Structure 1
Amino acid sequence: MGSRLKGKVMSVTDYGAFVELEPGIEGLVHVSEMSWSRRPKHPSKLVQPGELAEVAVLDLNPAQRRISLSLKQVLPDPWTTLSDRIKVGAVVSARIRNLTEFGAFAELEDGVEGLIHISDLSWTQKPKHPSEIVHKGQLVRAVVLSLDGQQRRLSLGMKQLETDPWMALDSKIKVGDTVKGKVARVVSFGAFVDLGHGIEGLCHSSEMGGEEQAGPKPLEAGSEHEFRVIRLEPAGKKVGLSLRTAPAPEPPPEKTKRPESPSTMMQALSSAGLLPAEPAPLAPAKPAAMGGEPHA
């Protein structure tokens, strides 16, 4: 087992090709052993009857007269050297080969496919299925997010080619701002509001009405309203919205005036000319002369 031999392709079927190793001795190369590609091709596109082929022996069962052969085992496994050719963070071109509910498989080269998870297709669109954004056979550009050659796993992302709109949100709106939004969907605890450019905010049911109302305002999907931003967390991708009127700011506290002293008040009145001038001081009385009147 494992030895390499050369043989002649005798016939090709839907499930593989029969190769003659010696006169009267044939082995089967199953379709899954014809190429490293996960996307099996019809054997007739890889080999033709009469061609010489180098194969590796996988299994030998003389009792059942069966020999299992492989074409791909004599070729280098592209995954073993993939990390030498591409690095995490590199931008690559790939062709969409298969679509599933959780993402799209894209082929970088023969035998190497990567997964673009549905959450990594777009920042702004929220597809329910990858077919809403990409289709089979489409050539796309993507960023290598992770690479594990031993596990044969490759993660790709298309949205990483663009700037995350959440990272620039705090430069566009701030808490207290009024924004216009369209109700995307209504849930039991509130409504999610589309603010544009892939940004959604939440208006909680407790923020839908005012004190003068008996209950919250009913919101319908598709309706447009003006909301007040009450919470903004771009890192957590959260925007809190409210339909309530912003509370009026409290008036500043009045400054208590200290009572003026009488002397200060008198000086102010005097400076304003509201008090008469002070009278001149009286001259001191002269002392009486000594002695009495002369006697008659």
Structure 2
Amino acid sequence: MVLDIDEERRRISLGIKQCHSNPWDEFAATHNKNDKVVGHIKSITDFGIFIGLPGGIDGLVHLSDISWNLPGEEAVRNYNKGDEVEAVVLAVDAEKERISLGIKQLDQDPFSNFIAQNPKGNVVKGVVTELDNNKAIVQLEEGVEAVLRVQEIARERVNDARQRLKEGEEIEAKIISIDRKKRLISLSIKALLSEEEEAAIQDYGNSQTEVSATFGDLFKEQMETKE
């Protein structure tokens, strides 16, 4: 294809690639956000995985879009150059020749699913997987972890979480906060114990009221009988 004619210099500029349609434009025209694509890994860099796509172009899976459960630097170790992978189209910018892909988006986000079913205030069970003096890490479901800080372990003061909990131990606690941006769930056994105590006091008060009412009814019936 003729790109330019310079009569003064007697030069003609030609372009070979212009004879073919732009592969970036073609990809943008035939693929929408959330579409699935398959390709082979062409290279792995410090910031992500480049996947070869039809038309000789590449798409990038950023480290943060590889796995829901693992840090990108760890998740990327599961992939090798030449592997065939499936990914989801996240964004296409044909003008800048950029295609953003995601691997983790092939599956539902376990964190989002969990907090949708377990909002703040819910009581949940989990298994202690890590411990240090300040906190315990608790696995609630596959891919969902929460933190139980030392001050939330008991009503009384606890100086070291390792003195009260053991790895592998199943616990029950109340969700006291959810940080969606940081994907952080905070638990409290102390809050659960306080809630149970309040409920017990309330039940006791109600039972005492019922007993008093029962004795009052009996006394009234006896007086009416005497009359």
Query: What is the TM-score when the length of structure 2 is the normalising length?
Result: 0.69
Q: Secondary structure at the match of 1:128?
A: helix
- Percent of aligned positions with the same letter in both sequences? 23
Alignment length, in residue pairs? 203
Q: Given residue 242 of structure 1, which amino acid in structure 2 is its aligned partner?
A: S
2:187 maps to 241
In the TM superposition, what is the alpha-carbon distance from 1:98 to its structure 2 partner?
1.0
Structure with higher RCO (Cα < 8 A, 6+ apart): 2
Structural mapping, 1:162-177, within 5 Å: 162-170=107-115, 173=118, 175-177=121-123
1:24 maps to none
Match of residue 129, structure 2, among 172, 183, 187: 183
1:95 corresponds to 2:20: no
1:66 maps to none
Structural mapping, 1:43-82, within 5 Å: 72=17, 74-82=19-27
2:96 maps to 151
CA contact (8 A) 1:232 1:240 kept: yes
Separation in structure 2 between the aligned mates of residue 71 and residue 232 of structure 1, nearest angstrom: 60
Larger radius of gyration: 1
Separation in structure 2 between the aligned mates of residue 110 and residue 267 of structure 1, nearest angstrom: 94
1:142 corresponds to 2:87: yes
Separation in structure 2 between the aligned mates of residue 100 and residue 185 of structure 1, nearest angstrom: 34
RMSD (CA atoms):
3.8
Q: Secondary structure at the match of 2:32?
A: coil
Q: Given residue 51 of structure 2, which amino acid in structure 1 is its aligned partner?
A: A
In the TM superposition, what is the alpha-carbon distance from 1:77 to its structure 2 partner?
3.1
Query: What is the TM-score when the length of structure 1 is the normalising length?
Result: 0.55
Decide whether aligned partners of structure 1 residues 208 and 149 sit closer, same or farther in structure 2, where only a CA change above 3 A counts. same
Q: Given residue 239 of structure 1, which amino acid in structure 2 is its aligned partner?
A: I
Q: Deviations 1:137-167 (Å, cap 9, x if unpaired)? A: 1111111110100011111111212122223
1:285 maps to none
CA contact (8 A) 1:106 1:115 kept: yes
